[in-house]
Structures are given as structure tokens and as C-alpha cells.
Amino acid sequence: MIGYISDNLLLPILDFFYGLVPSYGLAIIALTVVIRLALFPLSAGSIRNARRMRIAQPVMQKRQAEIKAKYANNPQKQQEELGSLMKEFGSPLSGCLPLLVQMPILFALFATLRGSPFADVPYTLNLKVLPADQIAAVEPKPFNSASHSIFVTSTDHVPVIASLEKGTKLGVGDTETVSLHTKDGASFASVLSGVENGSAFAPTWSVTKGEGLVSVDQNGAIHAIAPGDVTVEAKIPGLAARSGFLFIKALGQVGFYTDGAINWDIAILVGGFGVTLFLSQILSGMGMPANPQQATANKITPVMITGMFLFFPLPAGVLLYMVIANVFQAVQTFLLTREALPDNLQSILDQQLAAEAKTVTATVTGSSRMPFEPKGKK
């Protein structure tokens, strides 16, 4: 499903925006905004439900306990009263459905930005080399990788698959060539031959696991040398992987620290992600009673996730998307927290805020001793 959404929805939108403004950085921003706007009704529903549940939860928990105690010997009546309570305040799970519906689209968007044209596309082949006297007993099972859309020009892309006719098991001394081809069977090499500067997209081949057990040439021919588990990788360059945008050196650049140097563009993007995530969480609590546990989580979560992304290898283009998405989320959260609440929830919120204000006032005025006075003085 994710591949279908990417190929048939997201890439056409990307092509459209790149046709308007030939900048892949701006295309990422435009694609992010369009998808977020399309998902606005779903994400807004989740934000509204979370806000309402945060207000109603203390009252609901108290009422649920009262209902269970009152109708402990009458399960049917208990279920009726609990159902009425859910109708009054809503179900805590009602905000999950909109989130689940939009997840495939968001995953597809993430996958699109991690692939061509924004990043190099790897085809990973996990192979097993067997002794020559054992391979004869193995039934060949053809292997086909997942399809990836490869941009060969700024507007033309083709789905490419990696195939092994005899499967992923080789005998010592055998040679098998990996076939890169389109879904209709045309070889990737023939596609590149009809494209200007097509050689720039020729795959590079390497052994990433089990060096010495196999060898692979730049035509994808794998020669088995010794038994063992092997991983061979073909990597097709991304059209825009080395294109910059604003302060970003390359949209396909991966890693905060590479080759002994700090990539400050990646560091800025990761920092921007953390700041915008923190801002979005702070805005979600606007106008709400103080919640020490939530406040602590709001501080710790952005730090933990930001720290993870410093070392988690994501292309700069994906990080750009995440920052823009967080900015959109923060604006959306700000607008939705200013919406009027249903009368019953507004009444509960007013009571909670009044109780909190009374507690603060009592704490401040509860002691007649000034901060600079000795404790024994009255």
C-alpha cells in the first residue's frame, strides 16, 4: 500500500510542484504542506479529542468509579451507565481512528523522501553460499526485490526491481548476475541508454557483509568463493541527492558526523526539529490546568527524540520535511486550542482553573513569614 500511495499520489504531486518551480527543496516543502492540509480534518480530530480528554479525564475517572461501585451487582445497568458517560464526554479511543487512517499516507511520504530523487536508492541482497556438493539439492526459487521509483530526469521516473533468476542461494564456484529491470521487463541499462547523461545513474556494487566469500563486478555479476552468509548491495544515485537548498549542502546527505567533521546543516535541521516539537507540545497545553507529569514529558520527549536523530541516519531532505511538518503541527495546535469547548467541558475547565488558582493563592498566603525572616519569628 505504501509503495502504491507513493507512486500514484505523492510522486505525481512532486512532479507537479517541481514543474512549477524547479527546486527540489521547495518541492519538498510544497508536498509536505499539501499532504498536511489534506490530512487536516483527521489530525484536527485527534488534537480536539486529546484536548477534551485531558479536561474530562479526572471527572470521567471519578464517575466511572462511582458507577462501578453503585452497580457492582448489576452488570447490565453498569454497562448502560458507562455507555451514557462515554456519550456525554466521548471515548478516549475516538482520537485513535483518525491517526490510524492517516498513518499509511505519512509513512508513504516518509518513504518517498528517503528514495529517488532525494537520496541514493540501495538494493540489498542477502545471499547464502553453500558448498558445491550441497547446492544441487536446493530447488532454485527466483528472487525479486521491492520496486523503487528511480528518477532518470527531473520529471521521468521508472519502477526498478532487482532480480536473481536462481534465487538467493549459490554454490561455491557459481556466478549469478543480478538483473535490474523495470516492471515490464526492460533492463535498467536500456532505460539509461535512452536518457541524456544516463551513465550518471549507473548502479555501484559492493559487498557489505562477507567480503572474501563472494566477489561482485560493476555489472552485478556475483561469483561465489566460499560458504557463508553474504550481503551484496547495489546503489543507484539519486538525481537530487547532491543538490543543495538554502543552507543544506545536499538533500541526500546522511549523518550529523561524517568523515571526522560535523555536518552543521544536519545539526541545524535536527535542532529545528527539536525546537518545533517542543513548541507544539507547549501549545497543546495552552489554557489547561498545570500538570507536572505532562510538563516533564514535554521537556524530556523533544530532547530524547532530537538526540536520537543526531545519530539516526536520515537524509537531509527527510529532516527538512519533519521540520516543516512540525511547524504546520504547531500552527494547527495553536488554532485548535483557541476553539470553543462544549458547554459541559468548558464548565469543568473553569472549575479546574478556579481550583488551581485557589490552591496557588492559599500556598502564597498560607505563611505570614517573609522569605528573609528567621523561621522562629511569628
Q: pLDDT tens digits, residue range 297-352? A: 767 777 777 777 777 777 777 788 888 888 888 888 888 877 777 777 777 776 76
Mark whether 72 and 132 lie in a shared domain.
no
Mark whether 24 and 96 lie in a shared domain.
yes
Mark whether 302 and 286 lie in a shared domain.
yes
Mark whether 229 and 131 lie in a shared domain.
yes
* Confidence class for position 91, pLDDT limits 50, 70, 90: low
> Per the domain annotation, does 357 fall within a domain?
no
Higher pLDDT, 334 or 115: 334
Which of 96, 113, 130 terminates a domain? The answer is 113
> Per the domain annotation, does 378 fall within a domain?
no
> Per the domain annotation, does 242 fall within a domain?
no
Q: How many structural domains is the chain composed of? A: 3
> Per the domain annotation, does 71 fall within a domain?
yes
Query: Is residue 287 scored above 70 in pLDDT?
Result: no
**CA distances to 25, 289, 353, 361 from 356, in Å:** 47, 7, 5, 9
Which of 78, 113, 148 terminates a domain? The answer is 113
> Per the domain annotation, does 180 fall within a domain?
yes
> Per the domain annotation, does 359 fall within a domain?
no
Query: What span, in angstroms and rounded, lies between the C-alpha atoms of 302 and 284?
Result: 14
Query: What span, in angstroms and rounded, lies between the C-alpha atoms of 36 and 184?
Result: 34
Residues 148-174, mean pLDDT to the nearest whole number: 84
> Per the domain annotation, does 31 fall within a domain?
yes
Q: Where are the alpha helices (DSSP H) in the chain?
A: 2-5, 11-20, 24-38, 40-70, 75-89, 96-114, 132-135, 188-193, 264-284, 292-311, 316-336, 343-365
Residues 98-126, mean pLDDT to the nearest whole number: 75
Mark whether 82 and 130 lie in a shared domain.
no
Mark whether 282 and 214 lie in a shared domain.
no
> Per the domain annotation, does 218 fall within a domain?
yes
Q: How many CA atoms lie within 13 A of 228 on its CB side?
A: 15
Domain coverage including residue 224 = 121-236
Mark whether 105 and 125 lie in a shared domain.
no
**Quick one: pLDDT at residue 231?**
92
Query: Is residue 46 scored above 80 in pLDDT?
Result: no
- In this predicted model, what pLDDT tens digit does every residue of 227-276 receive, in sequence order? 889 999 998 888 777 777 788 877 777 777 666 777 778 888 888 888 88
Mark whether 146 and 208 lie in a shared domain.
yes
Mark whether 26 and 71 lie in a shared domain.
yes
Grid cell 543526531 — which residue?
Answer: 310
Mark whether 93 and 180 lie in a shared domain.
no
Grid cell 535542532 — which residue?
Answer: 271
Mark whether 156 and 206 lie in a shared domain.
yes
Mark whether 130 and 227 lie in a shared domain.
yes
